[in-house]
């Protein structure tokens, strides 16, 4: 087995097309508690620390500030655009073909980057909500997943690839059931899939399904998103950094639980994209690439502790009459 801390393998992974991608990235979802300038300053700190993959999205509202920070930081470090891997996402209100193309071009303009290394369709449906929506708010235009609608959106993203504006295509917040219907119908298959992945929510089925098809998983909320907004929390949610197995392995290794969560991600093979505005955390999270990966025994212990606890449930994307967020994930018909 290849050790992830082999010099040849530790800092990047190879996608199906042969493209190299950093093995860890930096998240930028400031939500309602990190201002755009603060998020951009954190991106600059991350690039100075050595991160080369930045996970952005149109809906985060901060791509212009992040673009300005990148424009300032690259020359300071003597880096070229091509040394960064920049990802963005098309939001749910921009799924119509012309809107997909506008969204991609706007993200490129805002990030000041000529092309996106990867672009994702953020969620597989057109349902969106007003900022600061409450979990029980329902947009009357929202409706269940419609395959033909998604295929139309995807085809528009493919044209952005054809035009050289997006190098790799990605899907996000998918299920095996949806992929089974989508993959046979599309011209360009995704090379990346962004999904919630942390020790309390390991999604082994979707993870393996993607990997078997040459689709690289990118793990969001790798630390269990401890500062996500109150409206996205429920009493059943597991605190990843407090999980007994994570705390035990952290104590045995003399490291912080966050380090164990990220080592788990790197050892397993997904690309984690932790967010931080704390320079010490930014540095510590990147440093996992140079650490000894978790042993098979440690990986087994963490696999056994999977709580199947989805934290980013997506309630605000439900349609009128729907009350159980599991329907978004094809787990119930109601």
Ligand X SMILES: NC(=O)c1ccc[n+]([C@@H]2O[C@H](COP(=O)([O-])OP(=O)(O)OC[C@H]3O[C@@H](n4cnc5c(N)ncnc54)[C@H](OP(=O)(O)O)[C@@H]3O)[C@@H](O)[C@H]2O)c1
CA-nearest of 103, 29, 100, 108 to 61 is 29
What character string, x for contact with ligand X (CB under 6 A) and - otherwise, covers 58-97? Answer: ----------------------------------------
Please pick, from the candidates 103, 225, 270, 315, the single residue that binds ligand X as defined by CB under 6 A.
225
Please pick, from the candidates 144, 204, 205, 226, the single residue that binds ligand X as defined by CB under 6 A.
226
Q: For residues 245 and 301, is the Cβ–Cβ distance under 8 A?
A: yes
Long-range Cβ contact pairs of 11-15 (< 8 A, separation 24 or more)? 11/289, 13/216, 13/269, 13/271, 15/168, 15/191, 15/192, 15/216
Helices (H), 270-324: 279-287, 296-304
Q: For residues 26 and 43, is the Cβ–Cβ distance under 8 A?
A: yes
Nearer to ligand X, 182 or 223 (CB): 223
What character string, x for contact with ligand X (CB under 6 A) and - otherwise, covers 189-208? Answer: -----x--------------
Please pick, from the candidates 258, 260, 265, 288, the single residue that binds ligand X as defined by CB under 6 A.
258
Q: For residues 233 and 210, is the Cβ–Cβ distance under 8 A?
A: no
Instruction: Please indicate whether residue 60 is annotated as part of the active site.
Output: yes
Q: Does 234 bind ligand X (CB under 6 A)?
A: no
- In which element (H, E) is residue 22 found? strand 20-22
Q: Does 172 bind ligand X (CB under 6 A)?
A: yes
Q: Which stretch binds ligand X (CB under 6 A): 1-9, 95-103, 226-234, 289-297?
A: 226-234
The string of DSSP codes covering 68-90 is: HHHHHHHHHHT--GGGSEEEEEE
Q: Does 238 bind ligand X (CB under 6 A)?
A: no
Q: How many residues bind ligand X (CB under 6 A)?
A: 29
Q: Does 223 bind ligand X (CB under 6 A)?
A: yes
Locate the DSSP E strands across 146-277: 166-172, 192-196, 216-220, 271-272
DSSP designation for 198: B
CA distance 171 to 183: 11
Q: Does 124 bind ligand X (CB under 6 A)?
A: no
Q: Does 173 bind ligand X (CB under 6 A)?
A: yes
Helices (H), 62-195: 63-77, 97-111, 147-162, 176-182
Q: For residues 39 and 277, is the Cβ–Cβ distance under 8 A?
A: yes
**Could you say which residues in the range 261-300 bind ligand X, by CB under 6 A?**
273-278, 281, 284-285
In the complex, minimum distance from the CB of residue 194 to ligand X, in angstroms, rounded to a whole number: 4
Nearer to ligand X, 27 or 190 (CB): 27
Catalytic residue among 60, 85, 128, 220: 60
**Could you say which residues in the range 10-69 bind ligand X, by CB under 6 A?**
27-29, 55
* Footprint on this chain of ligand X (rule: CB under 6 A): 27-29, 55, 122, 172-173, 194, 220-228, 256, 258, 273-278, 281, 284-285, 312
Q: Catalytic residue numbers?
A: 60
């Amino acid at each position: 087995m290849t050790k992830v801390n082999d010099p040849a393998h530790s800092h990047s992974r190879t996608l199906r097309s042969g493209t190299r991608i950093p093995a860890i990235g930096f998240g930028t979802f400031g939500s309602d508690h990190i201002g755009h300038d603060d998020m951009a300053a954190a991106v600059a700190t991350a690039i100075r620390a050595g991160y080369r993959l930045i996970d952005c999205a149109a809906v985060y509202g901060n791509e212009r500030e992040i673009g300005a920070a990148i424009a300032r930081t690259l020359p300071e470090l003597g880096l070229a655009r091509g040394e960064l891997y920049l990802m963005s996402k098309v939001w749910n209100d921009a799924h119509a073909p012309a809107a997909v193309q506008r969204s991609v071009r706007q993200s490129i303009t805002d990030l000041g980057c000529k092309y996106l290394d990867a672009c994702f369709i953020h969620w597989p449906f057109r349902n969106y909500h007003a900022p600061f929506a409450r979990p029980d708010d329902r947009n009357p235009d929202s409706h269940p997943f419609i395959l033909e609608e998604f295929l139309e959106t995807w085809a528009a993203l493919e044209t952005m690839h054809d035009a050289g504006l997006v190098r790799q295509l990605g899907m996000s917040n998918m299920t095996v059931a949806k992929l089974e219907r989508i993959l046979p119908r599309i011209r360009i298959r995704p090379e990346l899939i962004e999904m919630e992945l942390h020790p309390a929510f390991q999604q082994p089925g979707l993870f393996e399904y993607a990997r078997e098809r040459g689709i690289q998983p990118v793990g969001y909320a790798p630390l269990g998103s401890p500062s996500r907004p109150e409206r996205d929390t429920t009493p059943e949610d597991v605190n990843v950094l407090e999980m007994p197995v994570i705390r035990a392995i952290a104590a045995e290794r003399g490291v912080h639980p966050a380090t164990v969560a990220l080592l788990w991600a790197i050892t397993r093979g997904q690309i984690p994209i932790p967010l931080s505005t704390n320079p010490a955390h930014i540095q510590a999270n990147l440093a996992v690439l140079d650490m000894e990966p978790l042993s098979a025994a440690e990986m087994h212990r963490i696999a056994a502790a999977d709580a199947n606890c989805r934290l980013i449930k997506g309630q605000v994307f439900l349609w009128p009459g729907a009350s159980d967020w599991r329907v978004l994930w094809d787990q119930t018909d109601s």
